[in-house]
Chain A
Amino acid sequence: MVKSLGKYFRIWRINAKATLMQRMAFRFNFLLIISGVLLQMVMSLLFLNIIFSFVNNIAGWTYNQALLIVASYMMVEGLNWALFAELAGIGQAIKLGTLDNLITRPMSTQFLISVWRADPEDWGRVITAVLIFIYAVPGLGLGFSQMAVNGFFYFFMIFFALAITYSITLIFKSLAFWFTDTNSLWMLVNQTIRVSQYPTDIFFHRAVRIIFSTVLPLAFMATIPAKIFLYGFNFWLIASSILLAAIFFFGSRKFWQYALRHYSSASS
């Protein structure tokens, strides 16, 4: 098991290095992509700042608390891009028929398709998220020991948030096996994940809140990790997060395997 994990980690590392070298071959382009990524982060912050220049809370969330949600969203989204490039490779591989190269290798195709186009520039998102987190924390009025304990559970929740985000991305992107032109799928995934940067308490209809906590658990991507950091350990929230992450991960894996059976190579 450990040996196998080591092998997967080594492949991820080699792949990440190769992608970075590929990006560095076009340095100016790489620099501009990083600028674009940072501009997107600025866009989210600007939106929040504009709202808070008129009001002092959104559905009970103060500015610093809302910043915590944005930081959590950016962290999860950034990791989803930096580690898996939001699974952008699936559509392209199906369209060009290059998926053949991956399915014939003696490894999990899902793993290979997930990591073979990791985006190094998106570590910029993660770093920005961490900086926003550090900026927001002093204004939350938490003591040092409280921050340390809550912080532990918070990063634990971020891990499960990433698992949920990855699984939702995989489900959407697997649709590419039926619909060849998948540019819009990227947009669908992006917009859906983007929703998680707002506190889910804005949904004053109970039914909508339930949908965003179960069917499409966006609440668990940023709002609930932020709540754990603010209010500390909550068994039900943590247990729900683990359960949802497990359901979505195994569900998406099953869906991916089902979708893969519909693959007809385009290269032959």
Chain B
Amino acid sequence: MKKYFIIFKNSVQTSLAYRFNTFTIFFSESVFLVILLYLWTSIYRQGGHIGSYSLTGLVTYFILSRFVSLIALYDDTAKKMNEEIAEGGAINYFLKPLNYLHKEFAYKLGTVAYRFVVFTSILILALLASGRLSAAAAYNSLPMILFFLIIFFIGICINFLISYSVGLMSFHFDRIQGLNFSIITCISILSGNMVPLDLFPKYLSWLGNLLPFKFIVFIPISIATHRIGATEAPILLLSGLAWLAALYALARILLFFGFKKYEAYG
């Protein structure tokens, strides 16, 4: 366990060293959020109404979606693995008493932990500044906060396992940017990052509910905004865990077949 903790710590230190990245990501997401807020406000000001969402509901959704995506959505595991596997650097890890999946996950957790601390602090400060911290705290009960955090973590793991599986395709193809780019775009659409899934046309909404991407953005936000209640918690937890198990199995299978094909350079 200690070796993975060191990887985790290294990842946090790398994130700290590249603070500018965090600042830039935050800044770009904030600019986009402001534009979205203007867009929705402009629509509601002219008397429009989007589905079952009030303006406040939609604004809250998009603020939370930016927050969740800042922490959970940006995953460069596949890109990193492609560089390691295609250029032969991965052999350093394969020859060591390390589980490659655990090593990558420890690294990912380091990035997530760093971003969680930074962006949660910013969110709390923003709530404090707007005088809404106590209202937000009173809005959610402790079990619901716990439920949100568990589902949020499942979403992070699902996103990681998808990215990891894409990265493992590097054993079979020299370049995986195309696959990675397509998957990231699909996730961006079907996770509810762009628009809440319940506003999609029926066929897309059905597809979104069928796939695991909803656990990354839509489900956590629906819990935080009480659109999903405690009664749905067991079934959501079970289906989230089932997806995790299925993706974990897929990752193991891909690694197994990948090793069979691997020819290290150097």
Q: Assess the B39–A198 pair: CB atoms within 8 A.
A: yes
A36-B185, A187-B24, A202-B39 known; A181-B32 Cβ under 8 A: no
Taking a contact as CB atoms under 8 Å apart, the answer to whether B24 and A185 are in contact is yes
A59 B182 Cβ-Cβ under 8 A: no
Chain A residues in 8 Å Cβ range of B31: 191-192, 195
Prevailing SS type, chain B contact patch? helix
Indicate with 1 or 0, residue by residue over B50-69, a CB within 8 angstroms of chain A CB atoms. Answer: 11000000000000000000
18 example contacts (A-B, Cβ-Cβ < 8 A) are as follows A29-B179, A31-B178, A32-B182, A37-B181, A39-B182, A50-B201, A51-B43, A55-B43, A58-B42, A181-B21, A187-B24, A190-B28, A192-B28, A198-B39, A201-B42, A202-B41, A204-B38, A204-B42
Nearest to B183 among chain A residues (CB) is A36
Q: Which residues of B contact A40 (CB under 8 A)?
A: 185
- If A26-B173, A198-B35 touch, whether A184 touches B185 (CB-CB below 8 Å) is no
Asked if B39 and A58 sit within 8 Å, CB to CB, the answer is yes
A 175-204 contacts with B by CB, 8 A: 179, 181, 183-185, 187-188, 190-192, 194-195, 198, 201-204
Known: A184-B21, A191-B29. A35 touches B178 (CB 8 A): yes
| Residue among A40, A59, A191 facing the most chain B CB atoms (10 A cut-off) | A191
- Mask, B98-117, CB within 8 Å of A = 1, is 00000000000000000000
Number of interface residues of B (CB under 8 A): 44
- Whether a CB of chain B sits under 8 angstroms from the CB of A208 is yes
When A36-B178, A39-B182, A43-B185 are in contact, do A184 and B39 touch as well, CB less than 8 Å? Answer: no
Cβ–Cβ < 8 Å partners of B263 in chain A: none
- The binding surface of chain A is classed by DSSP as helix
Please tell me which one of the listed residues A31, A39, A184, A194 contacts residue B32 in the complex, with CB atoms under 8 A apart: A194
Q: Does B195 contact A (CB under 8 A)?
A: yes
**A-B interface, 9 closest residue pairs, ranked by CB to CB distance from nearest:** A32-B178, A36-B181, A55-B48, A184-B24, A33-B178, A202-B42, A191-B28, A29-B175, A36-B182
Contacts of A26 in B (CB 8 A): 173-175, 178
Known: A30-B178, A181-B18, A184-B28. A204 touches B45 (CB 8 A): yes
**A185 contacts across to B, CB distance below 8 A:** 24
Which B residues are CB-close (under 8 A) to A29? 173-179
**CB of A54 within 8 Å of the partner chain:** yes
| A-binding residues in B (CB < 8 A) | 18, 20-22, 24-25, 27-29, 31-32, 35, 38-39, 41-43, 45-46, 48-51, 76, 173-179, 181-182, 184-186, 188-189, 194-195, 199-201, 204
Give residues in A with beta carbon < 8 Å to B.
26, 28-37, 39-40, 42-43, 46-47, 49-51, 53-55, 57-59, 179, 181, 183-185, 187-188, 190-192, 194-195, 198, 201-204, 208
Q: How far is the CA of A190 from the CA of B50 in the complex (A)?
A: 27
Contacts of B29 on A, CB cut-off 8 Å?
191
Residues from chain B with Cβ under 8 Å of A201 in the complex: 42
> Which chain A positions have C-beta within 8 A of B49?
54-55
Chain B residues contacting A188 (CB-CB under 8 Å) are 24-25, 27-28
B195 touches A47 (CB 8 A): yes
Partner of B194, one of A30, A35, A36, A47: A47
Residues of A within 8 A of B48 (CB): 54-55
| B71, chain A: closest CB distance, angstroms | 15
Quote the shortest CB–CB distance from A46 to chain B (angstroms): 7
User: Looking across the interface, which residue of chain A has its beta carbon closest to that of B24?
Assistant: A184
Contact of A202 among B38, B76, B174, B199 (CB under 8 A): B38
In the bound complex, what is the Cα–Cα distance between A204 and B40 (angstroms)? Answer: 12
> Which residue on B lies nearest to A42, using beta carbons?
B189
Nearest residue (CB) in A for B176 is: A29
Q: Would B50 and A51 count as touching, CB distance under 8 A?
A: yes
Q: A54-B48, A194-B32, A198-B39 are in contact. Are A33 and B24 (CB under 8 A)?
A: no
Residues of B within 8 A of A55 (CB): 43, 46, 48-50
Chain A nearest CB from B252 CB (Å) reads 24
Q: Are the C-beta atoms of B51 and A54 separated by less than 8 Å?
A: yes
In the bound complex, residues from chain B placing their C-beta under 8 Å from that of A36 are 178, 181-182, 184-185
Contact A59 B42, beta carbon cutoff 8 Å:
yes
Known A30-B178, A51-B50: A183·B21 in contact at CB below 8 Å: yes
Q: Please determine whether B38 and A208 come into contact, CB atoms closer than 8 angstroms.
A: yes
Q: Which of A32, A37, A183, A202 contacts B179 (CB 8 A)?
A: A32
In the complex, what residues of A have CB within 8 A of residue B76's CB?
A: 183
* C-alpha gap A57/B169 in the complex (Å): 45
Known: A47-B194, A204-B38. A28 touches B45 (CB 8 A): no
